[in-house]
Amino acid sequence: MATLRGGFRALPWANQLLAYQRASWKCASCKVAGSAAFRSARRYTTTSEGASSKPYYVTTPIFYVNAAPHVGHLYSMVIADVLKRWRTLLGDNNVQLLTGTDEHGMKIQQAASAAGMDTQAFCDMNCKTFQDLAKAAEVDYNHFIRTTDPAHKEAVQYFWEMLQHRGYIYTAKHEGWYSVSDETFYPQSQVHLSLDPATGEKRMVSIETGKEVEWSSETNYHFRLSAFQDRLLELYKTGFIAPSHYRHSVVKAVSSGLSDLSISRPAERLTWGISVPGDNTQTIYVWLDALVNYLTKAGYPFPPGEGARLGWPADVHVVGKDIVRFHCVYWPAFLMALDLPLPRNVLVHGHWTMNREKMSKSTGNVVNPFFAIDRFGVDVMRFFLTYQGGFTSDADYDNAHIIRDYRKYLQQGIGNAAHRSIGCAGGNLRTYIVNATAGNSPATPEDQAYQSMLEQLPTKVEEHMEKLNPRDALQDIVRATLKTTKYFHNSAPWKDPEQRQRVLFNMAEAMRITGILLQPFMPNKAKEVLDLFRVDTSKRNFSAARYASDPDYGEGVEKKILFPPLLVEE
């Protein structure tokens, strides 16, 4: 085994290069075709063996298990789930959603030690809480990945070997300010002295995250990140980062110059991770390890021509704004180095605050997502987070805001419109639907204007979703329901239902169309609305959300309270 400068053992380069000269990429893939990683990755996909189309592939971040889940984790899960369910609503039956946990790194090592637990047992315990949260939030994921999975370990080591083979990894001494919490080095320009409010002592912290840093000097492996500056800048012109609000800061940072990236840590300091292939004195940097999870799920290393069939590239990575650099700079550069297809979009969202301050366990202003779901219900929480969550800015969390939105948009909006339309029809809603679809219900200018709004609604929602903006999509649906209650009030069909048949038909159509469009956001309540109006289950996809496209619903409809009073105190 050869030795590199700094005392590191290297892979047997002479034999490895000779093997690569003799082997095609097919053989390189075949190298792992019988491995646990390959067999497991094949099981991860639900695509049939004969399928040729690429699955639509959505991912959440994989969540760090050093602490319990918070409402920000729930938000990421919900947004990714809405995107998946939307694609299914469009009629795409080949949609994959990946979520999971990041279980390596110094934070995990230290948290397990502080808890007095075996590190793997600590990971197993906290991993389950994230699985439980995904279940509680009714996230329709296809696979829950863990970075401690054997398949992932093999994929990461193979990824490393390919980077090394192509000459993108070298060894060098690295000095800088290292944050254990952020698991990253910061240059001098990105740290400053700050006063610790708890102790009154001065400490050096990251300007970006506020996390404490310590000076570190060590010899480790580096990735030639600087070689990809121009290609990254070209990538950002394609709309890779959504919304564009975040692109500007990334472009500015990359344009100012990229330093090569330290991608390993001495095993004497970090034992809990994946060893560098051929060098067990070094542990692979947790972020290189973690990012490869998206490939592991998609079957990496891919058999020839199989990457797309197994899901790669990802269509959307949903991430919080604090991990933009890793997903929009490091990750595409790693993939470029191996000529692998790049993710199509990285969708970035803001954070949740409380009283306009960043949530922090140390200050006690955190939200337990399990308690929130238990208190308000899963659909209400999914609604609130999607409706109020910020993409270009942070959003403030408050129980009073949830109660306010429930009453205004759900009770007085959707619930009230459904209740009044059914009540005004006097048990004969089906008759009004039949007469209107047969052309026997004359329309006033007010009816026609309202009808036009309903006709445009699905298209507007679709446009927002195509731009990866579920918040604006949901807000348009809500605005439509508020217009529905106003339309009903102004038209006063209860004064003469026979003369106002078109109003009651429009109200019924509003509930049917709204129910269809709400399915990705509030799957249970949307089903309840569609069941209430007796909409056939075969007519609940997006194509059925066209005005007057379904003449067969509304038989035997009876009043029901869709959104009862919340049994909570403000």
> Is residue 269 scored above 90 in pLDDT?
no
Instruction: Give the model's confidence band at 47: pLDDT under 50 very low, under 70 low, under 90 confident, else very high.
Output: very low
Q: Which amino acid does the sequence have at 408?
A: K
Q: Are 84 and 77 in contact (CB under 8 A)?
A: no
The pLDDT value recorded for residue 175 is 67
Domain with CATH 1.10.730.10 in the chain: 405-544
In the predicted model, is pLDDT for residue 106 greater than 60? yes
- Mean pLDDT value of segment 454-482: 98
At residue 568, the pLDDT reads 64
pLDDT at 51: 43
- Least trusted range by pLDDT, from 2-16, 217-231, 313-327, 498-512: 2-16
Res 304: pLDDT: 73
Q: In the chain, where does the domain assigned CATH 3.40.50.620 lie?
A: 13-349
Query: Could you tell me the pLDDT band of residue 31, with boundaries at 50, 70 and 90?
Result: very low
Q: Judging by DSSP bridges, how do beta strands 169-179 and 214-223 pair with one another?
A: antiparallel
359-400: pLDDT as tens digits: 766 566 789 999 999 999 999 999 999 999 999 999 999 999
- pLDDT class of 214 with cuts at 50, 70, 90: confident
- For residues 34-57, give the mean pLDDT: 50
Residue identified by tokens 């110059």 is: 257
Which pTM was predicted? 0.86
Q: Is the pLDDT of residue 1 over 60?
A: no
Q: What is the pLDDT of residue 25?
A: 33
Q: pLDDT band at 19, cuts 50/70/90?
A: very low
Determine the pLDDT at residue 182: 63
Judge whether residue 4 has pLDDT over 60.
no
Q: Which residues contact 43 (CB under 8 A, 6 or more apart)?
A: none
The per-residue pLDDT for 294 is 98
Strands (E), 366-438: 395-396
pLDDT of residue 249: 92
For residue 561, what pLDDT is reported?
Answer: 95
pLDDT value, residue 198: 63
- 3-state SS track over 418-486: HHHHHHHCCCCHHHHHHHHHCCCCCCCHHHHHHHHHHHHHHHHHHHHHHCCCHHHHHHHHHHHHHHHHH
Pick among 3.40.50.620, 3.40.50.300, 3.90.700.10, 3.10.20.600: CATH of 13-349: 3.40.50.620
Alpha-carbon distance of 125 to 563, in angstroms, equals: 36
DSSP string, 530-553: HHHTT--GGG-SGGG-STT---S-
The C-alpha atoms of residue 465 and residue 539 are separated, in whole angstroms, by 21
**Rounded distance, CA 405 to CA 384, Å?**
7
Q: What is the pLDDT, as a whole number, of residue 539?
A: 98
**What letter would DSSP give residue 299?**
T
Q: Which of 77-86, 494-503, 512-521 has the lowest mean pLDDT?
A: 494-503
Are the C-beta atoms of residues 533 and 558 closer than 8 Å to each other? no
160 Rama class: left (phi>0) / alpha (psi -120 to 50) / beta: alpha
Top-ranked range on mean pLDDT: pick from 10-14, 186-190, 330-334: 330-334
pLDDT averaged over the chain? 87
- Looking at per-residue pLDDT, the higher value among 29 and 526 belongs to 526
Q: What pLDDT score does 416 carry?
A: 95
State the SS3 of 205-266.
EECCCCCECEEEEEEEEEECHHHHHHHHHHHHHHCCEECHHHHHHHHHHHHCCCCCEECEEE
Amino acid symbol at 131: Q
Beta bridge partners of 193: 204
What pLDDT, in 10s, does the model give residues 485-499? 999 999 999 888 777
* Percent of the chain scoring above 70 in pLDDT: 85
Query: Which secondary structure element, helix H or strand E, spans residue 100, and what is its range?
Result: strand 95-102
End-to-end CA distance of the chain: 67
Q: What is the pLDDT of residue 527?
A: 98
pLDDT for the residue numbered 362:
57
Q: Pick the more confident residue, 191 or 21.
A: 191
Q: Are 96 and 311 in contact (CB under 8 A)?
A: yes
Query: What secondary structure letter does DSSP report for 305?
Result: T
Q: How far is CA 172 from the centre of its chain?
A: 36
| CATH level 3 topology of 405-544 | Isoleucyl-tRNA Synthetase; Domain 1 (1.10.730)
Helices 71-89, 369-376: axis angle to 10 degrees equals 60
